[in-house]
Every structure is written in structure tokens, then in C-alpha cells.
Amino acid sequence: MDTPPAPWRPHAQALNVVYANLELYGLQGRPAFVGTAGSVIERSNATGVRFYAHQYYDALKKQRERYVAGPIGDLDADRAAAELRDRIEAQKAIVPQIRMLGREGFQLVDPRAYAVIATLHNHGLFAAGAILVGSHAYGIMLNRMGIRAAPFSTDDVDVARGAPLSFASPPKGSFLEMLRDSGIDFAEVPGLSHKRPATSFKQTGRETFTVDLLVPSSDETYPVAPVPELRAHAIALPYLGYLLGASVDAIAMMREGCCAVRIPLPERFAVHKLVVSQLRTGPNKKADKDLSQALTIFEVLDASDPGAIEDAVKALPKRAAKYFKKARERIRAVLEEKAPRAWAALT
């Protein structure tokens, strides 16, 4: 292997208990705040009618206000304001725990990325079958496995779906409109050809923050595929279907809160990283990152669940075997020495 695996160490059990409790809180399905929890305030309109508003700071640190209910004194409006206050207090109660975990090495998501993830959660994408992949998913895996390691973090967000999303009711807006509900102004990134629809969405201006929509490819090409339920298009990636074949509920955390997401199983994530590392051409730092992330996961599973690695290998498509075996040899020396049960599961 060209680069050594990222060093890691387990978190203290007490910290893992705190994280587990936060995960229980985050998976209750409540709507997520996309910025700070903020506060409920009272406002008056031009005619003197008083109403409730929610004041908070968004991912770009801008103060925002949104209408909640009115007029003040109306039973339904007062109830809506009280329910929002309860949500705000519940969120503020967990913030010290999240910040403590961040100081101790748990992975926290950048505010912009979290705003996107929380917005997609609020729109029901993860409940409908969408899966968070990429470096943010890897950081969440580290938290769930109870280890501290280099996150190889990026602000960009990768969202995938293996099959048409199953919404309880059809979304009212497109994927682009959902992204803009985060408070960040996104625009489609034009394809290389004017005939090729956009599959990436970038924050406008000089920023490079990007959200990519992904689906599985049926072969080893990278076509553009329609995602009609989101009124969008996605880039199709080889062997992504394998990665999305088994997933788990989890939470994404930022300093101001947490929300529910869905991520791949770590053993599939690691095996998939071996395969895609060999699909990259030429000298490529991303390939080294792929192998390093895979090694970290294999080392952790070596002690906790080597059988999971074996199951993940058995589920790998036969046409991916040549890439898998080639990448496996690149990490053989490290695994044979540091994680022999994981190496046995891979072979």
C-alpha cells in the first residue's frame, strides 16, 4: 500500500453511551432544525395583528425569521408556538453533549453539509430510501463503531438511491428546490455537453460546496439517469448498487443538533472502497484514501465482527472480483499483521 492506514483508537465506553443516547434521540423522527434551534418571538404585522415567529441563525450564520402561527391568543396558534418551544428546548438540552463528543474526537458535520442533510431528512428522503454515502457517511460510521480516526472530511454531500424512492406522498418540489430549503442558494452544475443534464448542484457564487445525486450503473460506465420522483437526474456509478444493498439508520451531528440519516453498512462500505480504488486511473490520492478507510473499518471489525466482512465479500458481484482481489493484495501485509481474522474473512 502506498500510504499507511489512518491511525485510530477506541473511544471511552462512557462516551459511546452518550452517543448511543443521542442516536436514540435523533432517530425519533422529529423534524430537524437546519440551523440553530433559535427561539420563538412575537411580531406584529402592518395592521397590528400579533403572531408568532421562529428566529434562528442558518448555516451561513445569517439571522432568519419564519412565520409560525397567529394570531397570538388563538388556541391553535398558541399550541403551535408551545410545540415549537418544546422542540427548541429539547434540542438545546442535547447541544452540550454533542459539543463534548466533538471535543473528544467524534465526527461533527460542517454546518452547510448538515443543513443539506437535515433538509433532506425533513423532506423524507432518507425515510423513503435515500442513502448518504461518501466521506460524511464514513465519519458517521466511525461514530457508530466507537472509534476516533481521521475523517478524510469534505464539505460536499453525496446522496444516493438504489431504487425509486417510496414517499408516503409525492414531493411538492424538485431536488433542487429541496436543497434551497436549506437556506443555501444552489444552482445546477452544467454537464460537459449541453445535452447532458445536471447531476450536481453547487452553492452559487465563488463557493465550491456541492451536492451530488447518485444512482447505480448497470455496468462499468457512468451514464446520466433520470430520477423522476425528484424531478432531477443523477450520475450512475459502477457497483454502487452493491454498496446500497444493505444500510442502517444513523444520525448526523453538528455543533447545534442532530438528525436522522441512512448510511451503508460499514463492511459493505469497506469492500466497496476496495473495488472502486481500482477503478480510479493513474496516480490518485482518492484511491489511497479508499484503501485507508477500508483498512480502518476492517481493523475494527477484526475484533468485533469478522463474520460481517465474510458476508459482505459473499454478496459482492462476480464481475467485481478482479478489482477486489487486486486491491486486497495491496492491503495484505497490513491486515495479516494487524487484523488476521479480517484478512481470513477477505480470503
Q: What is the pLDDT of residues 165-207, one digit of tens each?
A: 999 888 889 999 999 999 999 999 987 667 789 999 999 998 8
Which pLDDT score is estimated for 21? Answer: 97
Q: What is the pLDDT of residues 54-65, one digit of tens each?
A: 999 999 999 999
CA distance linking residue 137 with residue 247, whole number of Å: 11
Beta strands 157-160 and 210-216 are parallel
Is the pLDDT assigned to residue 287 strictly greater than 90? no
CA distance linking residue 302 with residue 340, whole number of Å: 7
CA distance linking residue 183 with residue 59, whole number of Å: 7
Mean pLDDT, the chain, whole residue set: 93
CA distance linking residue 253 with residue 107, whole number of Å: 8
β-strand partners of 66: 54
Cis amide linkage into residue 71, ω under 30° from 0: yes
Is the pLDDT assigned to residue 6 strictly greater than 70? no
Which pLDDT score is estimated for 153? Answer: 66
Which pLDDT score is estimated for 154? Answer: 77
CA distance linking residue 203 with residue 176, whole number of Å: 11
CA distance linking residue 270 with residue 296, whole number of Å: 9
143 pLDDT band, cuts 50/70/90, is: very high
How far is residue 89 from each of residues 45, 58, 84, 86, measured CA to CA in Å?
Answer: 27, 18, 9, 5
> What is the number of residues in the chain?
347
Which uninterrupted H or E stretch holds 69?
A: strand 63-69
Cα–Cα nearest to 7, from 300, 285, 304: 300
The separation between the first and the last C-alpha atoms of the chain, rounded to the nearest angstrom, is: 18
7 pLDDT band, cuts 50/70/90, is: confident
The values of phi and psi at residue 93, to 5°, are -70, -30
| Amino acid, single-letter form, for residue 85 | R
Q: What is the pLDDT of residues 79-93, one digit of tens each?
A: 999 999 999 999 999
Is the pLDDT assigned to residue 282 strictly greater than 70? no
Which pLDDT score is estimated for 150? Answer: 80
For residue 190, the 8-state DSSP code is P
Cα–Cα nearest to 33, from 97, 111, 139, 138: 111
Residue, of 4 and 218, whose pLDDT is higher: 218
Q: Is the pTM of this model over 0.75?
A: yes
Phi-psi region of 129 (alpha: psi -120 to 50; beta: other; left: phi over 0): left
The beta strand positions in 161-301, using DSSP E, are: 186-188, 200-203, 210-216, 224-227, 232-237, 247-254, 257-264
1 pLDDT band, cuts 50/70/90, is: low
How far is residue 8 from each of residues 129, 149, 191, 288, 339, measured CA to CA in Å?
Answer: 31, 4, 39, 17, 13
Cα–Cα nearest to 66, from 91, 39, 86: 39
CA distance linking residue 263 with residue 116, whole number of Å: 15
- How many beta carbons lie within 10 A of that of residue 281, not counting itself? 7
Is the pLDDT assigned to residue 2 strictly greater than 70? no
Contact 9, 148 (CB under 8 A): yes
